[in-house]
Protein backbone atom coordinates (compact mmCIF):
# COMPACT_ATOMS: atom_id res chain seq x y z
CA UNK A 1 0.00 0.00 0.00
CA UNK A 2 1.65 3.20 -1.26
CA UNK A 3 -0.65 5.40 0.81
CA UNK A 4 -3.10 4.64 3.57
CA UNK A 5 -6.66 4.64 2.27
CA UNK A 6 -9.80 4.29 4.40
CA UNK A 7 -11.88 2.44 1.81
CA UNK A 8 -9.10 -0.04 1.09
CA UNK A 9 -8.57 -0.67 4.82
CA UNK A 10 -12.31 -1.18 5.40
CA UNK A 11 -12.40 -3.61 2.47
CA UNK A 12 -9.45 -5.49 3.94
CA UNK A 13 -11.24 -5.81 7.32
CA UNK A 14 -14.39 -7.04 5.56
CA UNK A 15 -12.43 -9.59 3.55
CA UNK A 16 -10.71 -10.98 6.66
CA UNK A 17 -13.92 -11.35 8.68
CA UNK A 18 -16.67 -11.92 6.13
CA UNK A 19 -18.55 -9.09 7.88
CA UNK A 20 -19.59 -5.76 6.38
CA UNK A 21 -21.72 -3.94 8.99
CA UNK A 22 -19.61 -1.29 10.73
CA UNK A 23 -22.57 -0.13 12.81
CA UNK A 24 -24.35 3.18 13.23
CA UNK A 25 -21.68 5.16 15.11
CA UNK A 26 -19.76 7.57 12.85
CA UNK A 27 -16.02 6.93 12.60
CA UNK A 28 -15.25 7.73 8.95
CA UNK A 29 -14.34 11.40 9.45
CA UNK A 30 -12.05 10.56 12.36
CA UNK A 31 -10.28 7.87 10.36
CA UNK A 32 -9.93 10.17 7.35
CA UNK A 33 -8.34 12.89 9.50
CA UNK A 34 -6.04 10.34 11.13
CA UNK A 35 -4.91 8.96 7.77
CA UNK A 36 -4.35 12.48 6.40
CA UNK A 37 -2.24 13.36 9.42
CA UNK A 38 -0.29 10.11 9.28
CA UNK A 39 0.62 10.77 5.65
CA UNK A 40 1.27 14.49 6.15
CA UNK A 41 2.90 14.69 9.59
CA UNK A 42 4.23 11.30 10.73
CA UNK A 43 7.02 10.76 8.15
CA UNK A 44 6.08 7.12 7.59
CA UNK A 45 8.50 4.86 5.80
CA UNK A 46 7.33 1.73 3.95
CA UNK A 47 7.69 -0.60 6.94
CA UNK A 48 5.94 1.72 9.35
CA UNK A 49 3.13 2.40 6.88
CA UNK A 50 2.51 -1.34 6.62
CA UNK A 51 2.57 -1.67 10.41
CA UNK A 52 0.11 1.22 10.73
CA UNK A 53 -2.18 -0.29 8.10
CA UNK A 54 -2.28 -3.51 10.14
CA UNK A 55 -3.10 -1.55 13.30
CA UNK A 56 -5.98 0.28 11.64
CA UNK A 57 -7.27 -2.92 10.06
CA UNK A 58 -7.26 -4.57 13.48
CA UNK A 59 -9.40 -1.78 14.92
CA UNK A 60 -11.84 -2.02 12.01
CA UNK A 61 -12.07 -5.78 12.56
CA UNK A 62 -12.84 -5.18 16.24
CA UNK A 63 -15.66 -2.84 15.24
CA UNK A 64 -17.13 -5.36 12.79
CA UNK A 65 -17.10 -8.16 15.35
CA UNK A 66 -18.56 -6.03 18.14
CA UNK A 67 -21.42 -4.95 15.89
CA UNK A 68 -22.02 -8.56 14.85
CA UNK A 69 -22.01 -9.81 18.44
CA UNK A 70 -24.47 -7.09 19.44
CA UNK A 71 -26.88 -8.54 16.89
CA UNK A 72 -26.15 -12.15 17.91
CA UNK A 73 -26.39 -11.72 21.70
CA UNK A 74 -29.61 -9.75 22.09
CA UNK A 75 -29.12 -8.99 25.79
CA UNK A 76 -25.94 -6.96 25.30
CA UNK A 77 -27.83 -3.79 24.40
CA UNK A 78 -29.95 -4.13 27.57
CA UNK A 79 -26.98 -4.08 29.95
CA UNK A 80 -27.01 -1.11 32.33
CA UNK A 81 -23.69 0.60 33.11
CA UNK A 82 -24.39 2.00 36.55
CA UNK A 83 -22.34 4.79 38.17
CA UNK A 84 -18.95 3.83 36.69
CA UNK A 85 -15.89 5.18 38.51
CA UNK A 86 -13.32 6.92 36.32
CA UNK A 87 -9.74 7.45 37.52
CA UNK A 88 -8.10 10.37 35.74
CA UNK A 89 -5.67 13.27 36.13
CA UNK A 90 -2.21 13.99 34.86
CA UNK A 91 -0.20 10.93 33.78
CA UNK A 92 2.25 9.26 36.18
CA UNK A 93 0.19 10.27 39.24
CA UNK A 94 -0.18 6.70 40.48
CA UNK A 95 -3.38 6.02 38.57
CA UNK A 96 -2.15 2.69 37.17
CA UNK A 97 -1.33 1.47 40.67
CA UNK A 98 -4.64 2.76 42.05
CA UNK A 99 -6.56 1.09 39.22
CA UNK A 100 -4.87 -2.22 39.98
CA UNK A 101 -5.63 -1.88 43.68
CA UNK A 102 -9.29 -1.01 43.18
CA UNK A 103 -9.69 -3.91 40.76
CA UNK A 104 -9.12 -6.24 43.72
CA UNK A 105 -12.24 -5.02 45.51
CA UNK A 106 -15.39 -7.11 45.78
CA UNK A 107 -17.92 -6.47 43.03
CA UNK A 108 -15.54 -4.34 41.00
CA UNK A 109 -14.95 -4.91 37.30
CA UNK A 110 -11.88 -3.40 35.62
CA UNK A 111 -11.18 -4.06 31.93
CA UNK A 112 -8.19 -6.30 31.25
CA UNK A 113 -5.86 -5.85 28.31
CA UNK A 114 -6.82 -9.16 26.72
CA UNK A 115 -10.57 -8.52 26.67
CA UNK A 116 -10.18 -5.04 25.20
CA UNK A 117 -7.86 -6.34 22.48
CA UNK A 118 -10.02 -9.38 21.66
CA UNK A 119 -13.50 -8.69 23.06
CA UNK A 120 -15.47 -11.07 20.84
CA UNK A 121 -17.28 -13.19 21.82
CA UNK A 122 -18.25 -11.68 25.20
CA UNK A 123 -16.12 -13.10 28.04
CA UNK A 124 -17.78 -15.61 30.36
CA UNK A 125 -17.48 -15.66 34.15
CA UNK A 126 -16.67 -19.39 34.24
CA UNK A 127 -13.62 -19.06 31.97
CA UNK A 128 -12.66 -15.44 32.61
CA UNK A 129 -9.29 -16.28 34.23
CA UNK A 130 -8.43 -19.05 31.76
CA UNK A 131 -9.77 -17.71 28.46
CA UNK A 132 -7.52 -18.71 25.55
CA UNK A 133 -7.39 -15.07 24.42
CA UNK A 134 -5.18 -14.28 27.42
CA UNK A 135 -2.38 -16.37 25.91
CA UNK A 136 -2.99 -14.92 22.45
CA UNK A 137 -2.66 -11.34 23.68
CA UNK A 138 0.33 -12.28 25.84
CA UNK A 139 2.13 -13.63 22.77
CA UNK A 140 1.19 -10.74 20.49
CA UNK A 141 1.40 -7.71 22.79
CA UNK A 142 3.36 -8.60 25.93
CA UNK A 143 6.20 -10.77 24.66
CA UNK A 144 6.87 -8.34 21.81
CA UNK A 145 7.00 -5.26 24.08
CA UNK A 146 10.48 -3.91 24.81
CA UNK A 147 12.03 -4.27 28.24
CA UNK A 148 12.45 -0.49 28.21
CA UNK A 149 8.68 -0.05 27.90
CA UNK A 150 7.95 -2.63 30.60
CA UNK A 151 10.18 -0.71 33.00
CA UNK A 152 8.16 2.44 32.39
CA UNK A 153 4.66 0.91 32.36
CA UNK A 154 3.66 -2.61 33.53
CA UNK A 155 2.28 -4.72 30.70
CA UNK A 156 0.51 -8.05 31.12
CA UNK A 157 -2.44 -9.55 29.29
CA UNK A 158 -4.51 -10.16 32.40
CA UNK A 159 -4.04 -7.03 34.50
CA UNK A 160 -6.35 -3.99 34.42
CA UNK A 161 -5.43 -1.57 31.66
CA UNK A 162 -6.41 1.97 30.77
CA UNK A 163 -9.63 2.07 28.87
CA UNK A 164 -8.87 3.68 25.51
CA UNK A 165 -8.99 0.11 24.20
CA UNK A 166 -12.76 0.18 24.67
CA UNK A 167 -13.30 2.73 21.89
CA UNK A 168 -10.09 2.83 19.87
CA UNK A 169 -12.03 1.56 16.86
CA UNK A 170 -13.72 4.98 16.66
CA UNK A 171 -10.31 6.49 15.81
CA UNK A 172 -10.63 9.38 18.27
CA UNK A 173 -7.65 8.08 20.13
CA UNK A 174 -5.33 10.34 22.13
CA UNK A 175 -2.95 7.40 22.59
CA UNK A 176 -1.93 7.63 18.93
CA UNK A 177 -0.18 10.93 19.72
CA UNK A 178 2.49 8.93 21.54
CA UNK A 179 3.98 6.81 18.72
CA UNK A 180 3.29 9.26 15.91
CA UNK A 181 3.86 12.96 15.35
CA UNK A 182 0.29 13.96 14.39
CA UNK A 183 -0.09 17.73 14.53
CA UNK A 184 -3.15 17.87 12.25
CA UNK A 185 -4.89 15.00 14.02
CA UNK A 186 -4.21 16.48 17.48
CA UNK A 187 -5.70 19.81 16.48
CA UNK A 188 -8.79 18.02 15.18
CA UNK A 189 -9.14 15.94 18.37
CA UNK A 190 -9.11 19.13 20.44
CA UNK A 191 -12.16 20.49 18.61
CA UNK A 192 -14.10 17.33 17.70
CA UNK A 193 -17.32 16.07 19.30
CA UNK A 194 -16.27 12.98 21.26
CA UNK A 195 -19.74 11.82 22.23
CA UNK A 196 -19.93 9.07 19.55
CA UNK A 197 -16.62 7.72 20.80
CA UNK A 198 -17.92 7.56 24.37
CA UNK A 199 -21.09 5.87 23.14
CA UNK A 200 -18.82 3.21 21.62
CA UNK A 201 -16.96 3.05 24.96
CA UNK A 202 -20.28 2.35 26.72
CA UNK A 203 -21.35 -0.27 24.19
CA UNK A 204 -18.08 -2.15 24.68
CA UNK A 205 -18.63 -2.10 28.45
CA UNK A 206 -22.10 -3.55 27.87
CA UNK A 207 -20.50 -6.25 25.73
CA UNK A 208 -17.87 -7.15 28.34
CA UNK A 209 -20.38 -6.99 31.21
CA UNK A 210 -22.95 -9.20 29.48
CA UNK A 211 -21.60 -12.50 30.90
CA UNK A 212 -19.12 -11.12 33.46
CA UNK A 213 -20.90 -8.44 35.55
CA UNK A 214 -19.57 -5.92 38.07
CA UNK A 215 -19.30 -2.23 38.81
CA UNK A 216 -16.79 -0.64 36.47
CA UNK A 217 -13.63 1.14 37.58
CA UNK A 218 -11.95 2.69 34.56
CA UNK A 219 -8.74 4.61 34.11
CA UNK A 220 -7.33 6.88 31.42
CA UNK A 221 -5.57 10.22 32.04
CA UNK A 222 -6.83 11.71 28.77
CA UNK A 223 -10.47 11.65 29.90
CA UNK A 224 -9.63 15.12 31.25
CA UNK A 225 -9.73 16.45 27.67
CA UNK A 226 -13.27 15.22 27.04
CA UNK A 227 -15.20 15.34 30.32
CA UNK A 228 -18.11 17.00 28.53
CA UNK A 229 -18.58 13.93 26.33
CA UNK A 230 -17.97 11.57 29.24
CA UNK A 231 -20.73 13.05 31.40
CA UNK A 232 -23.10 13.24 28.45
CA UNK A 233 -22.86 9.46 28.02
CA UNK A 234 -22.35 8.58 31.71
CA UNK A 235 -24.40 11.17 33.66
CA UNK A 236 -24.01 9.22 36.93
CA UNK A 237 -20.21 8.82 36.62
CA UNK A 238 -17.96 9.19 39.65
CA UNK A 239 -14.47 10.65 39.26
CA UNK A 240 -11.31 9.96 41.26
CA UNK A 241 -8.81 12.68 40.33
CA UNK A 242 -5.23 11.74 41.13
CA UNK A 243 -2.62 14.41 41.92
CA UNK A 244 1.17 14.62 42.08
CA UNK A 245 3.86 17.29 41.67
CA UNK A 246 4.10 18.11 37.92
CA UNK A 247 7.84 18.69 38.18
CA UNK A 248 8.14 14.97 38.94
CA UNK A 249 5.53 13.53 36.62
CA UNK A 250 6.01 15.47 33.37
CA UNK A 251 9.62 14.28 32.78
CA UNK A 252 8.47 10.75 33.65
CA UNK A 253 5.60 10.99 31.18
CA UNK A 254 7.86 12.31 28.43
CA UNK A 255 10.32 9.49 29.09
CA UNK A 256 7.48 6.99 28.63
CA UNK A 257 6.27 8.66 25.42
CA UNK A 258 9.82 8.62 24.08
CA UNK A 259 9.80 4.81 23.99
CA UNK A 260 7.13 5.10 21.27
CA UNK A 261 7.98 8.38 19.52
CA UNK A 262 11.68 7.75 18.90
CA UNK A 263 10.79 5.52 15.95
CA UNK A 264 9.89 8.73 14.06
CA UNK A 265 12.65 9.86 11.66
CA UNK A 266 14.30 13.06 12.88
CA UNK A 267 13.01 12.58 16.43
CA UNK A 268 14.27 15.25 18.88
CA UNK A 269 13.71 14.51 22.57
CA UNK A 270 13.91 18.18 23.61
CA UNK A 271 11.22 19.14 21.13
CA UNK A 272 9.10 16.27 22.47
CA UNK A 273 9.64 17.47 26.04
CA UNK A 274 8.29 20.94 25.37
CA UNK A 275 5.48 19.64 23.17
CA UNK A 276 4.29 17.16 25.77
CA UNK A 277 4.56 19.53 28.74
CA UNK A 278 2.32 22.11 27.06
CA UNK A 279 -0.06 19.38 25.90
CA UNK A 280 -0.49 18.06 29.44
CA UNK A 281 -0.95 21.57 30.83
CA UNK A 282 -3.72 22.20 28.30
CA UNK A 283 -5.38 18.93 29.30
CA UNK A 284 -5.39 19.66 33.03
CA UNK A 285 -6.61 23.23 32.51
CA UNK A 286 -9.35 22.11 30.15
CA UNK A 287 -10.35 19.22 32.41
CA UNK A 288 -10.58 21.33 35.56
CA UNK A 289 -12.68 23.92 33.75
CA UNK A 290 -15.18 21.23 32.70
CA UNK A 291 -15.08 19.68 36.15
CA UNK A 292 -15.99 23.01 37.76
CA UNK A 293 -18.82 23.65 35.31
CA UNK A 294 -20.30 20.20 34.65
CA UNK A 295 -19.78 18.01 37.73
CA UNK A 296 -21.36 18.15 41.17
CA UNK A 297 -18.66 18.28 43.89
CA UNK A 298 -19.99 15.08 45.52
CA UNK A 299 -19.15 13.16 42.33
CA UNK A 300 -15.43 14.05 42.27
CA UNK A 301 -12.90 12.82 44.84
CA UNK A 302 -9.34 14.18 44.87
CA UNK A 303 -6.60 11.72 45.78
CA UNK A 304 -2.98 12.63 46.43
CA UNK A 305 -0.23 10.31 45.21
CA UNK A 306 1.56 10.62 48.54
CA UNK A 307 -1.55 9.48 50.44
CA UNK A 308 -1.88 6.35 48.30
CA UNK A 309 1.78 5.48 48.85
CA UNK A 310 1.51 5.97 52.63
CA UNK A 311 -1.87 4.32 53.14
CA UNK A 312 -3.35 2.65 50.05
CA UNK A 313 -6.16 0.85 51.87
CA UNK A 314 -7.12 3.98 53.78
CA UNK A 315 -7.07 6.09 50.61
CA UNK A 316 -9.42 3.74 48.80
CA UNK A 317 -11.62 3.46 51.87
CA UNK A 318 -11.95 7.26 51.99
CA UNK A 319 -12.89 7.38 48.30
CA UNK A 320 -15.47 4.65 48.85
CA UNK A 321 -16.97 6.53 51.79
CA UNK A 322 -17.09 9.76 49.78
CA UNK A 323 -19.22 7.99 47.17
CA UNK A 324 -21.43 6.30 49.79
CA UNK A 325 -19.78 2.89 49.45
CA UNK A 326 -18.23 0.54 52.01
CA UNK A 327 -14.87 -1.18 51.55
CA UNK A 328 -15.21 -4.75 52.81
CA UNK A 329 -12.64 -6.63 54.87
CA UNK A 330 -12.24 -9.08 52.00
CA UNK A 331 -11.42 -6.19 49.67
CA UNK A 332 -8.81 -4.87 52.11
CA UNK A 333 -7.16 -8.28 52.30
CA UNK A 334 -7.05 -8.54 48.51
CA UNK A 335 -5.54 -5.06 48.19
CA UNK A 336 -2.75 -5.94 50.61
CA UNK A 337 -2.06 -9.20 48.76
CA UNK A 338 -1.85 -7.31 45.46
CA UNK A 339 0.56 -4.81 47.00
CA UNK A 340 2.78 -7.60 48.26
CA UNK A 341 2.98 -9.07 44.77
CA UNK A 342 3.41 -5.79 42.88
CA UNK A 343 6.19 -3.76 44.45
CA UNK A 344 7.06 -0.32 43.09
CA UNK A 345 10.15 -1.43 41.15
CA UNK A 346 9.02 -4.95 40.32
CA UNK A 347 9.65 -4.37 36.61
CA UNK A 348 12.83 -2.31 37.02
CA UNK A 349 13.81 1.25 37.94
CA UNK A 350 12.70 4.04 35.61
CA UNK A 351 15.46 6.67 35.41
CA UNK A 352 15.02 10.10 33.77
CA UNK A 353 15.62 13.83 34.27
CA UNK A 354 13.80 16.98 33.17
CA UNK A 355 16.92 18.48 31.60
CA UNK A 356 17.42 15.68 29.08
CA UNK A 357 14.05 16.64 27.57
CA UNK A 358 14.75 20.37 27.48
CA UNK A 359 12.72 21.04 30.64
CA UNK A 360 13.53 22.38 34.09
CA UNK A 361 11.84 22.42 37.46
CA UNK A 362 11.37 26.22 37.32
CA UNK A 363 9.81 26.01 33.87
CA UNK A 364 7.35 23.33 34.96
CA UNK A 365 6.44 25.15 38.18
CA UNK A 366 5.62 28.24 36.14
CA UNK A 367 3.65 26.30 33.53
CA UNK A 368 1.56 24.41 36.12
CA UNK A 369 1.40 27.22 38.70
CA UNK A 370 -2.41 27.36 38.99
CA UNK A 371 -2.72 23.57 39.29
CA UNK A 372 0.05 23.35 41.90
CA UNK A 373 -1.53 26.05 44.04
CA UNK A 374 -5.06 24.69 43.79
CA UNK A 375 -4.14 21.16 44.90
CA UNK A 376 -1.04 21.90 46.97
CA UNK A 377 1.05 19.32 45.18
CA UNK A 378 4.45 21.06 45.13
pLDDT at 24 over 60: yes
**pLDDT-derived band of residue 350, with 50, 70 and 90 as boundaries?**
low
State pLDDT tens for residues 206-257: 999 999 999 999 999 999 999 999 999 999 999 999 999 999 999 999 999 9
Residue 348: the pLDDT is: 53
State pLDDT tens for residues 256-266: 999 999 999 99
Q: For residues 200 and 78, what is the distance between their CA atoms, to the nearest angstrom? A: 15
**pLDDT-derived band of residue 110, with 50, 70 and 90 as boundaries?**
very high
Q: 253-260: which pairs have CB atoms within 8 A and are 24 or more residues apart?
A: 253/90, 253/91, 253/92, 253/280, 254/352, 254/357, 254/359, 255/152, 255/350, 255/352, 255/357, 256/91, 256/92, 256/152, 256/153, 256/178, 257/178, 258/357, 259/146, 259/148, 259/149, 259/152, 260/178, 260/179
Q: What percent of the chain has pLDDT over 90?
A: 93
pLDDT at 346 over 60: no
State pLDDT tens for residues 267-318: 999 999 999 999 999 999 999 999 999 999 999 999 999 999 999 999 999 9
**pLDDT-derived band of residue 154, with 50, 70 and 90 as boundaries?**
confident
Q: Identify the burial level of 15 via C-beta atoms within 10 angstroms of its C-beta, where 0-12 means exposed, 13-18 middle and 19 or more buried.
A: exposed
Residue 344: the pLDDT is: 64
Q: What is the mean pLDDT of the chain?
A: 96
Q: For residues 340 and 351, what is the distance between their CA atoms, to the nearest angstrom? A: 23
Q: For residues 361 and 366, what is the distance between their CA atoms, to the nearest angstrom? A: 9
Mean pLDDT of 111-115: 98
Mean pLDDT of 140-163: 86
pTM for the full model? 0.96
Mean pLDDT of 110-137: 98
Residue 352: the pLDDT is: 79
Please give the CATH superfamily to which domain 79-375 belongs.
P-loop containing nucleotide triphosphate hydrolases (3.40.50.300)
Amino acid sequence: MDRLDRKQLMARATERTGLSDFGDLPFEEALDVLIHSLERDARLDEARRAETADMITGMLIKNLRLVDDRKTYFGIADEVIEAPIFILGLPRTGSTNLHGLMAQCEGIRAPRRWEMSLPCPPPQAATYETDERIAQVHAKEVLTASEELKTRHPITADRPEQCQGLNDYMFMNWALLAPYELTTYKEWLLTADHRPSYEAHKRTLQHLQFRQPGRWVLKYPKHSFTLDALIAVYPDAKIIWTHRDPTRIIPSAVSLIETFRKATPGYDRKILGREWATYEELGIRRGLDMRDNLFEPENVFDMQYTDVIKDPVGSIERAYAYFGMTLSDISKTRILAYLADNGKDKHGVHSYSAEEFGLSEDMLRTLFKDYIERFNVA
